[in-house]
């Protein structure tokens, strides 16, 4: 069964990884220059490399494909296919059964119920039974990963998850408009006040001691306040190499939504 996922960032990767492990053929679509910051656990990272390059997350290989035909061959070889195709032009060449919108844009960027037999919207910006068949909750808390058949997910709070009392302080945001230059690597320990990046020469500082868990790729054009990275206050105890608990919970919701529609046929 073929599943197309819009987006290939860390949360979308959690979805793609789980569906792949459950035997689905997974094709992921993202920007030519992805803006994901948790690049060590995002299949979108493969798009930073030449076509044909592979990138592995927790034992699952993703391959940078240039055409739908290459993507079809990749999934036949038990790999996740990743295409630079934000406009979904490749859909007309695929025989997809499920479309998952996991861009996490907090709004709908063109997904509708006519694109596939089952369409799933991840997070706010979608209404079940209007522009998709199911919505999966992404807001942390009791309902994280819940499948919604009528209505929408909770509105975006704008506040990152709390880790050891830190929320918005964890996020590294662009101090200016321009081209981003990282000065720290994912996995590196940093100190409060340390310069960890620059945007057209303007320094970006860490607001706390901890480990860099995410960092935008070099050369991305950003605007003031653009999310460029995050620092985990747990320091050496932070895990930047495996899929997050949030991504796994959301992935479980997507899998449940698919089985609600197709489960009777699988048995």
For 237, counting Cβ atoms within 10 Å of its Cβ (0-12 exposed, 13-18 middle, 19+ buried), the class is exposed
Instruction: Return the residue matching tokens 């030519």.
Output: 32
pTM: 0.94
For residue 171, which of 223, 226, 103 has the smallest C-alpha distance? 226
Rounded distance, CA 150 to CA 105, Å? 20
263: CB partners within 8 A, 6+ apart: none
- Within the chain, which residues score under 50 in pLDDT? 267
Rounded distance, CA 189 to CA 168, Å? 19
153 three-state secondary structure: coil
pLDDT tens, position by position, 121-173 = 999 999 999 999 999 999 999 999 999 999 999 988 777 778 888 788 999 99
Q: What is the pLDDT of residue 267?
A: 46
pLDDT tens, position by position, 34-44 = 999 999 999 99
């Amino acid at each position: 069964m073929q599943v197309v996922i819009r987006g290939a960032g860390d949360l979308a990767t959690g979805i793609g990884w789980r569906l792949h492990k459950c035997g689905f053929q997974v094709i992921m679509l993202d920007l030519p220059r992805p803006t994901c910051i948790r690049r060590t656990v995002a299949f979108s990272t493969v798009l930073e490399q030449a076509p044909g390059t592979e990138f592995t997350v927790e034992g699952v290989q993703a391959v940078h494909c240039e055409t739908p035909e290459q993507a079809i061959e990749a999934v036949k070889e038990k790999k996740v296919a990743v295409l630079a195709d934000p406009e979904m032009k490749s859909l007309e060449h695929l025989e997809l059964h499920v479309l998952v919108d996991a861009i996490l844009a907090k709004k709908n960027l063109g997904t509708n119920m006519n694109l596939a037999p089952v369409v799933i919207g991840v997070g706010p910006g979608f209404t079940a039974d209007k522009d998709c068949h199911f919505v999966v909750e992404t807001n942390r808390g009791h309902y994280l990963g819940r499948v919604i058949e009528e209505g929408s997910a909770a509105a975006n709070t704008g506040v990152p998850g709390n880790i050891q009392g830190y929320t918005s302080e964890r996020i590294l945001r662009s101090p200016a408009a321009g081209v981003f230059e990282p000065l720290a690597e994912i996995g590196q320990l940093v100190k409060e006040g340390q310069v960890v990046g620059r945007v057209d020469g303007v320094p970006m500082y860490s607001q706390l001691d901890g480990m860099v868990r995410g960092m935008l790729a070099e050369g991305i054009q950003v605007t003031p306040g653009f999310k460029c990275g995050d620092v985990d206050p747990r320091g050496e105890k932070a895990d930047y190499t495996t899929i997050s608990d949030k991504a796994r919970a959301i992935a479980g919701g997507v899998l449940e939504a698919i089985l609600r529609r197709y489960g009777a046929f699988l048995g």
